[in-house]
Amino acid sequence: MKRVVVTGLGCVTPIGNSVEAFCDSLFAGRSGIAPFDLGAMPGALSPDPGIRFKTTAKVKGFDPSGNPEHRLTPSFMLTSELGAQFGIVAARQAVAASGLLRHYDPAEVAIVSGCSCGGRGADEDANRNLYTRNARVPPTAIIRTMASSGTSNIAIENGVTGPTLNVATACASGTHALGLAFQMVRAGIAPAAIAGGYEAALTYGFLRAWDSMRVVSPTACRPFSADRDGMTLGEGAAMFTLEPLDAALARGARIWAEIVGFGMSADAHHVTQPLARGAALAMQRALDDASTTLGLAREQTMERVGYINAHGTGTQTNDQVEAAAIHQTFAELAPRIPIGATKAQTGHSIGAAGAIEALATVLALDAAGLPPTAGVTEIDPALNLDVIVRQQRPLAPGKHLALSNSLAFGGLNAVLALRRYTG
């Protein structure tokens, strides 16, 4: 089995449209959560008759027609919605930064992306016009709605013809995508991979549907906070290039981190009521996988975990269940492991969330610093967790491992184990 490292990063997020900008915002604790403008939302009723929340985390400054770095061909514009466009640009950044396709045959490189909602904007526009005024449905509605349209366009832009697929496991899609790509590179199924997640589903219908579920914060997502009152919806993309450690070293690639393990599980319980047992299973499997990679016993691996980037949605239930899962997994170690939640800054971008949070985890390991969980001042004492608040702190010496958790609606869980690369 090959050791697998991250050699390229790219992102379009509510807190920055480049890795540098994202990193600056991440460590400064800047949030991308802001009031949304119903007036700018196609089909929205304004004033809205019932929506209970007022904020989302939107990407700012994404300009595929004006900004050369975001430029997309007319064909890409025709066949992709906003989320897919984020994915294309994030993959472009990662590929360019890593130089991946100068060193690997694009005929064999894999692409694995996570996108769960697809192009909801195209779907809602077509359906609204169809059902309200019997309008014809545009011929691009199918293509723009496909969750995999970004995946296909990433392949087209880069001329990549290896194993290419999209994963749709709701809020865990991006983590599942990275985990599957990691397994493919580790097993030699593909010599290298482009992987991550993208999503932009902040349509009026989507916001109204989430409002009906009564899990969205009327203010802003504050994971693990004593006064948390729900999640905040977001959008964005993060893409990575993955390749074998030995090949990356041989070509002198910049190594951001090593992926050492991946664990998956299903709660097999309820679509919206998560089980701690399911999340714990995914964490344990990631730790066992990492133990095999590193030649350690699970206890030794757990002692080296210096950071958990939690799923941390900021809902009462998620944070309680995730805390319980961390306690089940780490036992007496649990209260001393520094925990952060990136959604406090980026919102919850569903299919992209796991990839954006893996990006935060990679940057934390690379910097040997742990970003604060924005907006949280008082940690819920009942959770008994060491949540990083107010300011960043250093990664503890000797604790070079991190987990990035994604616990999706539907009880589908995915956890990545990453290691600070120190040569």
Cα–Cα distance list, 385 to 125, 346, 418 (Å): 44, 22, 20
| Rounded Cα gap, residues 181 and 164, in angstroms | 10
Q: In angstroms, what is the minimal distance from the CB of 44 to another protein?
A: 23
| Rounded Cα gap, residues 341 and 106, in angstroms | 35
Q: Are 250 and 365 in contact (CB under 8 A)?
A: no
The region of 74-82, 83-91, 243-251, 403-411 touching another protein under the rule CB under 8 A is 74-82
Segment 118-177, which members bind another protein (CB under 8 A)?
136, 138-140, 143
Catalytic position from the list 11, 117, 171, 221: 171
Catalytic position from the list 70, 176, 348, 400: 348
Can you tell me which of 45, 78, 226, 268 binds another protein, judged by CB under 8 A? 78
In the numeric block, which tokens belong to residue 333? Answer: 């170690």
Q: Output 64 or 223, the one with its CB closest to another protein.
A: 64
Q: Output 137 or 245, the one with its CB closest to another protein.
A: 137
Cα–Cα distance list, 334 to 206, 233, 287, 305 (Å): 36, 28, 14, 10
Could you write out the DSSP letters of every residue in 352-371? GHHHHHHHHHHHHHHHTEE-
Contacts of 121 (CB under 8 A, 6+ apart): 42, 81, 82, 144, 200, 201, 203
Q: In angstroms, what is the minimal distance from the CB of 140 to another protein?
A: 6
Q: Output 21 or 137, the one with its CB closest to another protein.
A: 137
Q: How many residues bind another protein (CB under 8 A)?
A: 12
Q: Output 64 or 244, the one with its CB closest to another protein.
A: 64
Q: In angstroms, what is the minimal distance from the CB of 95 to another protein?
A: 23
State yes or no: residue 74 binds another protein (CB under 8 A).
yes
The region of 19-27, 73-81, 84-92, 396-404 touching another protein under the rule CB under 8 A is 73-81
State yes or no: is 176 an active-site residue.
Answer: no
Q: Output 71 or 399, the one with its CB closest to another protein.
A: 71
The region of 70-78, 199-207, 312-320, 355-363 touching another protein under the rule CB under 8 A is 70-78
Q: In angstroms, what is the minimal distance from the CB of 75 to another protein?
A: 8
Q: In angstroms, what is the minimal distance from the CB of 63 to another protein?
A: 14
Q: Output 78 or 250, the one with its CB closest to another protein.
A: 78
Q: Output 74 or 252, the one with its CB closest to another protein.
A: 74
Nearest CA to 307 out of 347, 349, 362 is that of: 362
| Rounded Cα gap, residues 409 and 64, in angstroms | 32
The region of 41-49, 71-79, 182-190, 291-299 touching another protein under the rule CB under 8 A is 71-79
- 3-state SS, 126-173, equals HHHHHHHHCCCCCCCHHHHHCCCHHHHHHHHHHCCCCCEEEECCHHHH
Q: Output 135 or 250, the one with its CB closest to another protein.
A: 135
Catalytic position from the list 70, 176, 311, 400: 311
Q: In angstroms, what is the minimal distance from the CB of 419 to another protein?
A: 44
State yes or no: is 311 an active-site residue.
Answer: yes
Q: Are 407 and 171 in contact (CB under 8 A)?
A: yes
The region of 72-80, 236-244, 254-262, 299-307 touching another protein under the rule CB under 8 A is 72-80
Could you write out the DSSP letters of every residue in 310-334? ------HHHHHHHHHHHHHHHGGGG
| Rounded Cα gap, residues 185 and 109, in angstroms | 9
Q: In angstroms, what is the minimal distance from the CB of 74 to another protein?
A: 5
As a whole number of Å, the end-to-end CA separation of the chain is 19
* DSSP 3-state of 175: helix
User: Which positions lie near another protein, rule CB under 8 A?
Assistant: 65, 73-75, 77-79, 136, 138-140, 143
Please list the active-site residues.
171, 311, 348
